[in-house]
């Protein structure tokens, strides 16, 4: 009995030690180095230098731009998300289930590819929509300049409003309708009930979704990089990128980047704290034990107009940008009209089979996605097992470290990895594919922990205890019982990591070298170099890969559920 206890003790400590080592190496060290480099100069703690950097004109302007853009996107995204959530849950809108699914599509698409499409449509001189209004309708100038604060806010709203839509539609579906029914019996009409009762009750969910929009908008690199840099609109992530790539990694540029990264971390922590406070206060208000189906608002004559509004919005946010990407990718030269004689598949063939740059980018993204997904999946199983099943001190710290990268922007993770693994501490991975891999593992560890923890929660402790009582070692119990039972969670974790890694830009754009471009970086750099048709063609290929991956996930999940 004692030998078995000793064996179990040794296994537990080994798994705990391995979990600590993984998270310290890929998460804790890079994060700590950011704060260390921001506040520690020449062996001394120095806050005055931080204040000095924040007061520099370009830094101050980037901070202001980040605030303006995130507030604007949060405001518009919250209105759009709340309105459509109410429409598909509380009215008799036709095809509500289909509309609900379509409103979630932008959540799965890369925002920077959408920004690229809108650049092709609404750039002041070359945009197809603007040219139509100038050349055909005789306008004196462009209809809309996408290279503006309003343009960036518009595009980011299209891709971030699902954060509010998901939160609010879920709250409305779970909400106890007792108060609404009481108001209706008292003679209040449905619009008054919606305005005075429904919206206040789901306000915590609205605010929670709004804070998520703000968090992601503050951290977004791609949209601002595509639409803002050309006219001098920088936010914090794009200024970090400029400092790292245009200053050859000088001390001053790294120092400024770490200060900006610290601002992002503090902002993200504040936003997440506010979200938790709001959810804690609002959770009890709307969910009750009884289940009723709330009365739907009869739209009557507005049913068709509101359905058309939904379809037009979906057309502008999903169909038009996607069609534009594929059409421009098929043009012989950017700027030509979309006619049969100007369209060709040569660009797609060249991108896929002939051009080394893009072939390497596709290979890098797929190999990095597969490798990071496999490593993070197995590491997540180990760490999740320690957190969920083992009674060891310090596992709360493991959970915190595992979830931390999910709470901070990708540019912060990339900068931390640069500081940790660029040779200063004996290991130089800079400009290699390995530094991107380490960053991906850190970035997506939270996805693996969430999926595997949920699966492990369903495995009863008695199964492992029975195996141990029958003489099995701890490793045999894990291999023969735990791993087979949590395999669905592992598969889910794999795809939750693989697909985002395929379309990732914010981390990769700070870490790539001459031969380590990913798909996202290749699309961005091709666009920056003026290779518009090739960037569009590669973006179209990326969209196909992403959609096929999403379909595969749904089929696997559906198959497992039916089984």
Q: Predicted confidence band at 390 (pLDDT cuts at 50, 70, 90)? A: confident
Residue 513: name the closest of 410, 418, 440 by CA. Answer: 418
CA 3 to chain centre: 47
Torsion of CA 381, 383, 385, 390, to 10 degrees: 170
Tens of pLDDT, residues 393-403: 777 788 888 88
Stretch 44-68: mean pLDDT, rounded? 85
CA pair distance 407, 443, nearest whole angstrom = 9
pLDDT at position 54 is: 84
Q: Predicted confidence band at 49 (pLDDT cuts at 50, 70, 90)? A: confident
Q: Predicted confidence band at 10 (pLDDT cuts at 50, 70, 90)? A: low
Q: How far is CA 395 from CA 129, 228, 376, 456, 537, in A?
A: 56, 43, 18, 15, 47
Is residue 145 helix, strand or coil? coil
pLDDT exceeds 90 at position 311: yes
- What are the extents of the domains in the chain? 1-43+346-563, 47-330
Torsion of CA 515, 539, 446, 487, to 10 degrees: -100
CA pair distance 222, 522, nearest whole angstrom = 12
Q: Which fold has domain 47-330?
A: MetI-like fold (1.10.3720)
Q: What are φ and ψ of residue 92, in 5° steps?
A: -95, 40
Dihedral class, residue 540 (left if φ above 0, else alpha if ψ from -120 to 50, else beta) = alpha
Which tokens sit at 377?
A: 């999946």
pLDDT exceeds 60 at position 288: no
Stretch 481-495: mean pLDDT, rounded? 79
Q: Which residue has the higher pLDDT, 495 or 366?
A: 366
pLDDT exceeds 60 at position 261: yes
Stretch 250-259: mean pLDDT, rounded? 79
pLDDT at position 7 is: 46
What kind and span of H or E run contains 40? strand 40-41
pLDDT at position 323 is: 95
Stretch 434-440: mean pLDDT, rounded? 94
Q: Are 549 and 495 in contact (CB under 8 A)?
A: yes
Tens of pLDDT, residues 336-375: 888 899 999 999 999 888 888 888 998 999 999 999 999 9
Residue 260: name the closest of 239, 246, 233, 285 by CA. Answer: 239
Packing angle, helices 320-329 and 111-122, rounded to 10: 80
Which tokens sit at 380?
A: 């997540």
Tens of pLDDT, residues 88-110: 988 888 998 899 889 988 888 88
pLDDT exceeds 50 at position 87: yes
Stretch 64-89: mean pLDDT, rounded? 93
pLDDT at position 174 is: 73
Stretch 496-510: mean pLDDT, rounded? 87
Helices (runs of H) and strands (runs of E) counted in the chain: 29, 2
Q: Where are the alpha helices (DSSP H) in 458-531?
A: 461-469, 474-477, 483-502, 508-511, 519-528
Q: How far is CA 266 from CA 259, 269, 281, 363, 377, in A?
A: 11, 5, 23, 36, 29
Stretch 161-184: mean pLDDT, rounded? 81
Q: Which residue has the higher pLDDT, 485 or 312?
A: 312
CA pair distance 214, 474, nearest whole angstrom = 45
Most confident of 120-124, 188-192, 528-532: 120-124
pLDDT exceeds 80 at position 498: yes
Tens of pLDDT, residues 312-342: 999 999 999 999 999 999 999 888 888 899 9
Q: Which CATH superfamily is domain 1-43+346-563 in?
A: MetI-like (1.10.3720.10)
pLDDT exceeds 80 at position 416: yes
pLDDT exceeds 80 at position 514: yes
pLDDT exceeds 70 at position 280: no
Same fold yes or no, 1-43+346-563 and 47-330 = yes
pLDDT exceeds 80 at position 258: yes
Residue 374: name the closest of 550, 494, 500, 549 by CA. Answer: 494
Question: In angstroms, what is the C-alpha Rg of the chain?
Answer: 26
Sign for the CA dihedral angle at 458, 463, 468, 472 comes to negative
SS (H, E, C) 183-243: HHHCCCCHHHHHHHHHHHHCHHHHHHHHHHHHHHHHHCCHHHHHHCHHHCCCCHHHHHHHH
Torsion of CA 88, 92, 97, 100, to 10 degrees: -20
Average pLDDT, the chain: 83
- Out of 166-175, 316-325, 468-477, pick the least confident: 468-477
């Amino acid at each position: 009995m004692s030998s078995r206890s000793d064996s179990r003790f040794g296994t537990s400590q080994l798994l705990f030690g391995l979990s600590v080592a993984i998270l310290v190496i890929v998460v804790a060290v890079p994060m700590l180095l950011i704060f260390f480099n921001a506040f520690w100069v020449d062996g001394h703690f120095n806050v005055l230098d931080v204040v000095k950097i924040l007061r520099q004109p370009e830094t101050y302007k980037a901070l202001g731009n980040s605030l303006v853009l995130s507030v604007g996107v949060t405001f518009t995204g919250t209105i759009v998300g709340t309105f459509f959530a109410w429409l598909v849950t509380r009215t008799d809108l036709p095809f509500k289930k289909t509309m609900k699914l379509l409103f979630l599509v932008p959540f799965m698409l890369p925002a920077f590819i959408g920004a690229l499409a809108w650049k092709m449509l609404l750039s002041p001189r070359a945009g197809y929509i603007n040219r139509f209004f100038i050349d055909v309708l005789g306008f004196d100038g462009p209809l809309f300049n996408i290279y503006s604060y309003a343009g960036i806010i518009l595009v980011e709203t299209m891709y971030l409003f699902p954060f509010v839509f998901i939160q609010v539609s879920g709250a409305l579906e779970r909400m106890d309708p007792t108060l609404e029914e009481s108001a209706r019996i008292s003679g209040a009409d449905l619009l008054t009930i919606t305005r005075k009762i429904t919206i206040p009750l789901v306000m915590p969910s609205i605010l929670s979704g709004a804070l998520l929009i703000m968090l992601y908008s503050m951290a977004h690199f791609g949209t601002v990089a595509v639409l803002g840099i050309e006219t001098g609109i920088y936010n914090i992530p794009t200024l970090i990128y400029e400092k790292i790539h245009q200053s050859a990694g000088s001390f001053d540029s790294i120092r400024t980047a770490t200060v900006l990264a610290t601002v992002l971390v503090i902002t993200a922590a504040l936003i997440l704290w506010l979200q938790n406070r709001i959810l804690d206060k609002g959770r009890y208000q709307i969910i009750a034990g009884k289940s009723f189906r709330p009365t739907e608002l009869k739209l009557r004559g507005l049913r068709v107009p509101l359905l058309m509004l939904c379809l037009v919005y979906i057309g502008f946010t999903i169909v038009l940008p996607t069609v534009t990407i594929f059409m421009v990718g098929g043009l012989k030269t950017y700027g030509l009209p979309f006619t049969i004689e100007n369209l060709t598949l040569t660009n797609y063939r060249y991108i896929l089979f002939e051009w080394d740059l893009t072939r390497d980018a596709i290979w890098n993204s797929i190999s990095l996605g597969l490798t990071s997904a496999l490593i993070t999946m197995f590491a997540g199983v180990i760490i999740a097992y320690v957190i969920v099943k083992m009674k060891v001190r310090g596992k709360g710290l493991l959970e915190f470290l595992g979830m931390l990268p999910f709470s901070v922007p990708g540019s912060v993770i990339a900068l931390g990895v640069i500081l940790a693994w660029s040779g200063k501490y004996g290991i130089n991975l800079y400009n290699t594919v390995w530094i991107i891999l380490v960053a991906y593992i850190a970035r997506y560890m939270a996805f693996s922990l969430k999926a595997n923890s949920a699966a492990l929660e369903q495995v009863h402790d008695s199964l492992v205890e029975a195996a141990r009582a029958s003489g099995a070692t701890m490793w045999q119990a894990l291999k023969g019982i735990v791993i087979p039972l949590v395999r669905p969670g592992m598969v889910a974790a794999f795809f939750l990591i693989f697909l985002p890694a395929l379309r990732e830009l914010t981390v990769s754009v700070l870490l790539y070298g001459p031969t380590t471009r990913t798909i996202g970086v290749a699309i961005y750099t091709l666009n920056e170099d003026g290779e518009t048709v090739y960037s569009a063609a590669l973006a179209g290929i990326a969209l196909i890969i992403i959609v096929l991956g999403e379909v595969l996930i749904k089929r696997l999940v559906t198959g497992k559920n039916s089984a």
